[in-house]
Amino acid sequence: MNQMVRPPRRVVAERVTLAHGGGGKAMRDLIEDVFTSVFAPPGMEDQARLSDPSMLEPGAQLAFTTDGFVVSPMEFPGGDIGTIAVCGTVNDLAVGGARPLWLSAAFIIEEGVEITTLRRIAASMQRAAEEAGVRIVTGDTKVVGKGSGDGVFVTTSGIGVIPPSRSLLAETVRPGDIAIVSGVLGDHGAAILAARGDMALTTDVRSDCQPLNHLIEAVLAAAPDTRAARDATRGGLASALNEIAGSAGIGIEIIEADLPMRQEVKGVCEILGLDPLYLANEGTLVLFVPPDQAAQALAAMQSVPAGLDARVIGKAVAAHPGTVIMKTVLGGARIVDMLVGEQLPRIC
């Protein structure tokens, strides 16, 4: 006897209402139509049941991370909150040496958000997941009243596997190691600032939001002794370098003239009095490699789309441990300290 197949649920409303978070038919319609029809998770249980052969390798480690995303505006040149939610979590796994496998996604949606907006966000998430080679396998949806939120907030968690004998740790960076960035700096922060429209800025800069796991795999294949990597998100390159210097107990020296940065980004920073070293990136990382593998690492980066603009920017030194120094284009030097407060809130 043939089983009856229930037709797919469809959302009729044009905007999210409190009923879409009430646990009934309206909520089920929203979840199935907008999210699970796109993500295609393995079943509709309250948990995802997962297995992968890489988990069984002797010495393999599971990597787990979670992050919340509150970017404003939700959609901007080069991406949206859904793209960031996937790429940000994938990249947090990748810079630790993990191969990302699965993500969860939880949505807090303000009453009144257009259903078409949610569809675009879900589609962006799925495209980013496919690019990274990961699956969104479970999640949650909540709706809050008008004025109790701000559009859509997304929390993603990710699980990956760190292969045996692989270790990317900031504490392993040694004096002499070479610092390389994978691309131009500050694009995401500048794109968000222009998209807000508060300053009447006009720029063609787009967010660099992209997954970096394929880039990391290429680098590790070419330079297996790579020490550490950090994605330069909130706090920008400056914060990433300071975190590494503090963890490793070494100094870091970078050269201002070697920093890859668009003139448009420099111009935005000059107008607003911002320091581009602290502008956020969502698809750029900095890594440290032994000097005898730096050329291989740089070539590997430049061989993949996410690393076409990769460049050596400096090195780790024994002097001034825990401090980052930049040699300026004027011939001087200045300390690049950790950011106090936040130059630009709600950027990711």
User: Domain-by-domain residue ranges, the chain?
Assistant: 18-43+57-162, 170-335
- The tokens for 24 are 């009934």
Q: What is the pLDDT of residue 341?
A: 66
* Count helices and strands in the chain by DSSP H and E runs: 9, 13
Class of domain 18-43+57-162: alpha beta
Q: State the average pLDDT over residues 47-53.
A: 90
Q: What is the pLDDT of residue 348?
A: 84
Q: Between 323 and 199, where is the model more confident?
A: 323
Least confident segment among 232-246, 261-275, 306-320: 261-275
Does residue 197 carry a pLDDT above 50? yes
Q: Confidence class of residue 199 from pLDDT cuts 50, 70 and 90?
A: low
Q: Confidence class of residue 271 from pLDDT cuts 50, 70 and 90?
A: confident
Q: What is the pLDDT of residue 1?
A: 43
Q: Look up the CATH number of domain 170-335.
A: 3.90.650.10
Residue 91 to residues 73, 83, 85, 127, Cα–Cα distance (Å): 22, 12, 10, 15
Parallel/antiparallel/unpaired status of strands 135-144 and 99-110? parallel
Does residue 217 carry a pLDDT above 70? yes
Q: State the average pLDDT over residues 324-346.
A: 86
Q: Identify the residue whose tokens are 């330069």.
A: 232
Calpha distance 168→229 (Å, rounded): 7
Q: Do domains 18-43+57-162 and 170-335 have the same CATH topology?
A: no
Q: Identify the residue whose tokens are 């979670």.
A: 66
Parallel/antiparallel/unpaired status of strands 152-162 and 99-110? antiparallel
Please give the mean pLDDT across all residues of the chain.
92
Does residue 47 carry a pLDDT above 90? no
Does residue 315 carry a pLDDT above 80? yes
CB atoms within 10 A of CB 14: 9
Calpha distance 62→55 (Å, rounded): 7
Least confident segment among 146-160, 214-228, 261-275: 261-275
The model scores a pTM over 0.85? yes
Does residue 34 carry a pLDDT above 70? yes
Q: State the average pLDDT over residues 263-288.
A: 91
